[in-house]
Structure 1
Amino acid sequence: MNNIHHFFSSLQISLPNALFAIGAAVLSYVLMHGALVLFRRRLGRLSEERQHRTIAQVLRKTLARTGTLAIFATAVLIGLSVLELPEPWNTRLSHLWFFTLGIQIAMFLHRAVKIGARRYFTTHARSSDQQVTVAHTVVIWLLQTTVWVVFLLAMLSNLGINVTTFIASLGIGGVAIALAVQNILGDLFASMSIAVDKPFEVGDFVAVDKFSGTVEHVGLKTTRLRALSGEQIVVANAELLRQTVFNYKRMSTRRIVFTLRASPETPPALAGKVPELLRALIGKHAQLRFDRAHLKTVDQNWIEYEIVYTMLDANYDLYMDTQQAINLDILQMFADHGISAAPRPQQVLMQGSLHEAGAADGAAANEQVPDTRRTRFLNH
């Protein structure tokens, strides 16, 4: 007992003050532990409600990182805070407070980033086998590293260390490294952009300016496509994102526009009935929505109709089967109504040279033909 009294006396702490600090520490531990248990139970009930499920699950899994040791350390610091400590113990206690709370917050953020990012990628994944990729892992790792770097710099600053020069050195070194590996970093950040923005995913059929194919793999540096002819196309991620990408797998509908030509000798009354006939034979297909059919062009060679319909299913094979059936029906319709698809016959006038014309005139005069010039007509 005398030794304990001597220890508190050396720190200029009275025994009542010490007992009060111990009581405050014990009470703080009990209150924090009880509040944490109740808060976890409340989050568990909220996680079952659809309205608050996502946030509640993230908070519940994040608070799972709060252990008994962290609560005990915080309670001890609360008890030490009520003591009347002399310098430099008071300053050291503030450093301990910053370190304890800072590392706990960093652990919370570390856990929340991992859970939140994985939940985001899982929610936006198109299939269960695409939930976790290398790019997702790199994104999570970079975010977690940022959390701990910020905590380390804040800790050094709290200890009185000037971190401005350190940050400037890191910036200069980072610029030098970035210039040395700018192509690799460009592809790496492009991979992260693909992982977050998801312009395409594995299994999508995409087309760019010079190539097209099905996406087989999205890596850190390259994306691999399987072309329709069978070969594999490997393209850098940064190069791929610099071009316009057409993702055909995400088509919900397919708008079809095609033209139909008929002979200009078709009677006007019959030509006016063709749009309604087209509406009837195209509209009978359940997989499409007929939009319009109009007589668009009339000239000396043919009359032209423009037909527009929308496939309600974007499957390409289904579209080709449907278009084939429509074309066969159109041929049958033309045959039933006597509509010809041949253009107007052309007449070509051919004239010879002046010498040939003079010889032809002489021969015509000898034969007593009244024409002074001979011409030939060829019918096509």
Structure 2
Amino acid sequence: MDLVFFNNTTLVWLTALGVAAAVMLALYVTKKVVVHHLRRLAERTETRLDDIAVETLDATRMFVIVVMGLFAGSKLLVLPEYVHQLVTRVAIVAGLIQTALWGNRALRAWLTEYYRNRSDEPGRATSAAAVSFIARMVLWIVILLMILDNLGVNITTLVASLGIGGVAVALAVQNILGDLFASLSIVLDKPFVIGDFVIVDKYLGTVEYVGLKTTRIRSLGGEELIFANGDLLKSRLQNMTRMQRRRIVFSISVTFDTPRDKLAAIPPMLTEIVKAQQTVTFDRAHFQGIGPASMNFEVVYWVESPDYNRFMDIQQDILLQIVDGLAARDIRLAYPTQVLHTPDLRGAAEAAAAAAQRNAAPADAHGGVLPARRA
């Protein structure tokens, strides 16, 4: 026990090893016990935070426990200053790596719970994946910089260099970065999600995929439309899936020769036909105006459903009943016509011929017309 190795007796070495083993065992048992009890508690609660905590603590690595035990044991030894600094730095690096592993596992567990709770909302899952990826990337970059700083590297110069290089790279790939941030805006603000039917300018279709750079839409014709995320945010976009009710405006026209009493009967007829429909809210029906070739009536109503097929069924039934109602009242629908009015020129032609004949006959002394002489 009195033998000296590296300025420490055998008893001191054995004591240091005992302390290291005890610390390792204590840390390992603490991890197992805490994780076990937290897991049992998580099974009895509805909140997901304890599940994430269990997953996070379960990510504690054995090599970190070993390093921490050896670090604790080394404090009992008489070692050169540089050895103490080395052991301390190794312990700090191990602690930082373990912190990064905890954060990475927590983000993954949160993403898993997010997917599970929103399996019917794929757009939200996409946003969670993007945010989780960026958060984990930032976490590892920060941990790496802290490790380099702990090892004595001058990270100020490194960060400054990265800043200058980052500006150059950002200028070179500004379109890609613009689409990346646009994708984050899409997944966080959620103007649409996967499965929504949207109209972008003159294009329309169902959203199939929201990526980091592009969004893909399946058009009604079957082809896939690919939009850059930046361009998509700059466009006027209509999300038809989020429509709660549909406003319908249509008009009918009847002929000019329709009597006034029949014109007055048309709005009540239209009102009755529309109100008789299911899931429809009537707004108005009026004699709108007099057109170039017709008397025009306008009808406005709401379909209390965004389903386009339902709207077409209702509109079809309304139009068929309007045709029957107009026919029963002997009212004709108008169509584009032009009437050309010309004056009657036959009377004028006969008068002109008589005048010409009078001018051609010889007159007597009293102004009368003399009979023509025979040869």
Q: Bin the TM-score by the shorter chain.
A: 0.7 to 0.9
Alpha-carbon distance in 2 for matches of 1:62, 1:296: 71
CA contact (8 A) 2:38 2:54 kept: no
CA 252–47 in structure 1, closer or farther in 2 if over 3 Å, else same: farther
Residue 294 (str. 1) matches residue 290 (str. 2): no
Instruction: Provide structure 2 residue ranges, at least 5 long, that are not aligned to the other structure.
Output: 357-375
Match for residue 304 of structure 1? 297
1:293 counterpart letter in structure 2: R
Match for residue 259 of structure 1? 251
Alpha-carbon distance in 1 for matches of 2:266, 2:119: 48
**For 1:120, what is the secondary structure of its paired residue?**
helix
Q: How much does 1:221 deviate?
A: 3.9
Alignment deviations for residues 278-330 of structure 1 (CA, whole Å, 9 cap, x no partner):
344333333x2213123263447525233212232x22222212211111012
Which has the higher mean CA deviation after the structures are superposed, 81-90 or 167-176? 81-90
Alpha-carbon distance in 2 for matches of 1:364, 1:305: 55
Q: How much does 1:253 deviate?
A: 3.0
Q: How much does 1:350 deviate?
A: 5.2
1:171 counterpart letter in structure 2: G
Alignment deviations for residues 28-87 of structure 1 (CA, whole Å, 9 cap, x no partner):
84366236523542344334432x1x2222222222211444334334444555778774
CA contact (8 A) 1:47 1:56 kept: no
**For 2:60, what is the secondary structure of its paired residue?**
coil
Match for residue 153 of structure 1? 145
CA 45–184 in structure 1, closer or farther in 2 if over 3 Å, else same: same
**For 2:235, what is the secondary structure of its paired residue?**
coil
Alpha-carbon distance in 2 for matches of 1:7, 1:108: 38
Please tell me the root mean square deviation across aligned C-alpha atoms, in Å.
4.3
Percentage identity across paired residues of the two chains: 34
2:286 counterpart letter in structure 1: L
**For 1:322, what is the secondary structure of its paired residue?**
helix
Alpha-carbon distance in 2 for matches of 1:310, 1:166: 63
1:117 counterpart letter in structure 2: L
Alpha-carbon distance in 2 for matches of 1:273, 1:74: 93
CA contact (8 A) 2:281 2:302 kept: yes
1:114 counterpart letter in structure 2: R
CA contact (8 A) 1:208 1:246 kept: yes
Instruction: Provide structure 1 residue ranges, at least 5 long, that are not aligned to the other structure.
Output: 368-380
Alpha-carbon distance in 2 for matches of 1:305, 1:363: 53
CA contact (8 A) 2:270 2:285 kept: no
Alpha-carbon distance in 1 for matches of 2:336, 2:38: 83
Match for residue 211 of structure 1? 203
Which has the higher mean CA deviation after the structures are superposed, 146-155 or 194-203? 194-203
Q: Across the two proteins, how many residue pairs are aligned to each other?
A: 352
Alpha-carbon distance in 2 for matches of 1:276, 1:78: 93
Alpha-carbon distance in 2 for matches of 1:315, 1:232: 23
Which has the higher mean CA deviation after the structures are superposed, 206-215 or 85-94? 85-94
CA 107–264 in structure 1, closer or farther in 2 if over 3 Å, else same: same
Residue 185 (str. 1) matches residue 174 (str. 2): no
Alpha-carbon distance in 2 for matches of 1:197, 1:59: 28
CA 344–156 in structure 1, closer or farther in 2 if over 3 Å, else same: closer
CA 91–289 in structure 1, closer or farther in 2 if over 3 Å, else same: same
Match for residue 318 of structure 1? 310
CA contact (8 A) 1:44 1:57 kept: no
2:92 counterpart letter in structure 1: F
Q: How much does 1:107 deviate?
A: 0.4
Alpha-carbon distance in 1 for matches of 2:201, 2:162: 40
Match for residue 26 of structure 2? 30
CA 366–82 in structure 1, closer or farther in 2 if over 3 Å, else same: farther
Residue 363 (str. 1) matches residue 352 (str. 2): yes
Alpha-carbon distance in 1 for matches of 2:269, 2:52: 61
Residue 42 (str. 1) matches residue 35 (str. 2): no
Alpha-carbon distance in 2 for matches of 1:221, 1:280: 53
1:308 counterpart letter in structure 2: Y
CA contact (8 A) 1:62 1:108 kept: yes
**For 1:2, what is the secondary structure of its paired residue?**
coil
CA contact (8 A) 2:114 2:128 kept: no
CA contact (8 A) 1:264 1:298 kept: no
Which has the higher mean CA deviation after the structures are superposed, 151-160 or 341-350? 341-350
**For 2:64, what is the secondary structure of its paired residue?**
helix
Select which of 92, 112, 121 maps to 2:106. Answer: 112
Alpha-carbon distance in 2 for matches of 1:91, 1:145: 29
Alignment deviations for residues 311-358 of structure 1 (CA, whole Å, 9 cap, x no partner):
32x222222122111110121222334444448998766579xxx9xx
CA contact (8 A) 1:261 1:304 kept: yes
TM-score, normalised via structure 1 length: 0.73
1:245 counterpart letter in structure 2: L
Larger radius of gyration: 2
Residue 2 (str. 1) matches residue 5 (str. 2): no
CA contact (8 A) 1:21 1:82 kept: no
Pairing 1:1-380 to 2, within 5 Å after superposition: 1-3=1-3, 6-7=4-5, 10=7, 19=15, 22=18, 26=22, 29-30=25-26, 33-34=29-30, 36-50=32-46, 52=47, 54-80=48-74, 87-88=81-82, 91-121=85-115, 123-126=117-120, 140-262=132-254, 274-286=266-278, 288-295=279-286, 297-299=288-290, 301-312=294-305, 314-342=306-334, 363=352, 366=355
CA 273–87 in structure 1, closer or farther in 2 if over 3 Å, else same: farther
Alpha-carbon distance in 2 for matches of 1:294, 1:131: 43
Match for residue 376 of structure 1? none
